[in-house]
């Protein structure tokens, strides 16, 4: 930050404070991760200087030959990583990836069927505050109230009743394995398309730690910055037959110039994800999540569905008599970053909530393993069981900072 510290010391100071926050604490937000030095360098490169509207070989500006090379590499690597016939790496986010698929294959007013937000779905899956809830008729399925897991028989019954144009699977807060084949079969039975949003579990899907949706459902969308450990952005994969319609929906349908520095960084991320070490990393994410979940439950805390199969877990804090907001705030004081989250059959607002979402991708990126998860689980339990005990919170924070110092974000 040598240039920035001279030209804009205020911003340089903010960035340094954020660096220290990440370095000295534990990031347990399930949708966050730590990118590599290589991804950081690509993101901050001169590739940001260029407009490259269009696609490789068909741009609206001159001088794009090297941006064509970078985007082609990103697409080819992503297809290899997931076994996809077609890929588009231009969406700026996961929501815009979803938007492109909807725009390509749905008309305004068509029925979109998806998981309810409070049950673990995502805003872009039909929430009334999202464009999806405004543009489409929305039918939303819930989890089984007893198991707190997906009930494919009930989902099929709803699909037969609602006859959706698009059936969406995938979630932002679902700790269990998703049966993509079952969802596609339900969609086929009612003449619908099926889209899997694997934003959270993309790294797990790419490495076989979770079943892969690509080649199973009609469309797969993802972000690139969660378990894929890349820059913040989105991507779409599908069979080749759907490619032209998706390309048109992305550009010129909903975006102008692509962020070429981000696409270049996506290419770097996909190359890193093709390495054998990335598979081991994703296996460790799940091992860590299971141990963390077991530790929390051993401390008497209730987890939605009774555990986890992937990288995240949901704590139900009803028995503790506190809200997700109170727990998030107290854990933040202890340098443990999590997010308040709705739970199935939520009774509080999304700004308050009855639960916490906790995930292991970022701490796993730092090299932490099962023994550290046991300590972290005990620390979380200590705080959430007595959120007003400032002395206990200070003690946990000291232990967190001591551990964090042993696992640098960017080892020299």
List the one residue out of 148, 145, 149, 183 whose CA is nearest residue 166: 183
Of 222, 223, 227, 262, the active-site residue reads 223
Angle between helices 94-105 and 243-250 (to 10 degrees): 120
Q: Is-catalytic flag, 223?
A: yes
How far apart are alpha carbons 154 and 113 in whole angstroms? 13
How far apart are alpha carbons 119 and 149 in whole angstroms? 10
CB atoms within 10 A of CB 109: 9
Residue the block writes with tokens 């926050």: 21
DSSP state of 350: T
Of 232, 266, 290, 340, the active-site residue reads 232
Strands 54-55 and 58-59: antiparallel
Q: Is-catalytic flag, 51?
A: yes
How far apart are alpha carbons 218 and 228 in whole angstroms? 21
Angle between helices 9-24 and 390-404 (to 10 degrees): 100
How far apart are alpha carbons 306 and 114 in whole angstroms? 23
Of 32, 53, 68, 85, the active-site residue reads 53
Supply φ then ψ for residue 209, to 5 degrees. Answer: -75, -30
DSSP-derived 3-state class of residue 27: strand
Of 59, 165, 176, 226, the active-site residue reads 226
Environment class of residue 78 by beta-carbon count within 10 Å: exposed (0-12), middle (13-18) or buried (19+)?
buried
Q: How far is CA 242 from CA 32, 170, 248, 280, in A?
A: 30, 20, 11, 33
Q: What is the end-to-end Cα distance of the chain in Å, rounded?
A: 17
Of 162, 197, 272, 316, the active-site residue reads 197
Of 16, 23, 50, 51, the active-site residue reads 51
Name the token pair of 382: 């200590």
Q: Is-catalytic flag, 247?
A: no
Q: Is-catalytic flag, 226?
A: yes
- Within 334-366, residue ranges assigned H as helices are 361-365
Omega within 30 of 0 (cis) for the link into 252: yes
Please identify every residue annotated as catalytic.
Answer: 51, 53, 197, 223, 226, 232
């Amino acid at each position: 930050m040598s240039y920035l510290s001279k030209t804009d010391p205020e911003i340089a100071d903010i960035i340094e404070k954020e660096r220290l926050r990440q370095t000295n604490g534990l990031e347990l937000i399930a949708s966050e991760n730590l990118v590599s030095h290589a991804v950081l360098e690509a993101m901050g490169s001169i590739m940001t200087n260029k407009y490259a509207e269009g696609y490789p070989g068909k741009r609206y500006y001159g001088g794009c030959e090297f941006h064509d090379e970078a985007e082609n590499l990103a697409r080819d690597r992503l297809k290899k990583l997931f076994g996809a016939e077609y890929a588009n790496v231009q969406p700026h986010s996961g929501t815009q990836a979803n938007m492109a698929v909807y725009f390509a294959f749905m008309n305004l007013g068509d029925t979109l069927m998806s998981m309810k937000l409070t049950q673990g779905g995502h805003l872009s899956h039909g929430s009334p505050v999202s464009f999806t809830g405004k543009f489409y008729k929305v039918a939303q399925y819930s989890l089984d109230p007893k198991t707190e897991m997906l009930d494919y028989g009930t989902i099929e019954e709803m699909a037969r009743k609602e006859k959706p144009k698009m059936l969406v699977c995938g979630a932002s807060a679902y700790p269990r394995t998703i049966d993509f084949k079952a969802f596609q079969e339900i969609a086929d039975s009612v003449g619908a398309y099926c889209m899997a949003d694997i934003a959270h579990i993309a790294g797990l899907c790419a490495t076989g730690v979770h079943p892969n949706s690509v080649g199973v459902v009609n469309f797969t969308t993802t972000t690139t910055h969660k378990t894929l450990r890349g820059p913040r952005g989105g991507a779409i994969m599908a069979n080749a037959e759907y490619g032209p319609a998706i390309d048109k929906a992305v550009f010129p349908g909903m975006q102008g110039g692509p962020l070429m520095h981000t696409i270049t960084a996506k290419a770097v991320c996909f190359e890193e994800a093709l390495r054998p070490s990335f598979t081991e990393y994703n296996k460790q994410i799940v091992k860590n999540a299971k141990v963390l979940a077991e530790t929390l439950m051993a401390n008497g805390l209730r987890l939605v569905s009774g555990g986890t199969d992937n990288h995240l877990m949901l704590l139900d804090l009803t028995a503790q008599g506190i809200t997700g907001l109170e727990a998030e705030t107290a854990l933040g004081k202890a340098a443990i970053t999590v997010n308040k989250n709705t739970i199935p059959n939520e009774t509080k607002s999304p700004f308050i909530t009855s639960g916490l979402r906790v995930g292991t991708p970022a701490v796993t990126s730092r090299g932490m393993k099962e023994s550290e998860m046991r300590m972290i689980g005990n620390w979380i339990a200590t705080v959430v069981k007595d959120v007003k005990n400032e002395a206990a919170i200070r003690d946990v924070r000291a232990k967190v900072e001591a551990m964090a110092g042993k696992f640098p974000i960017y080892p020299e």
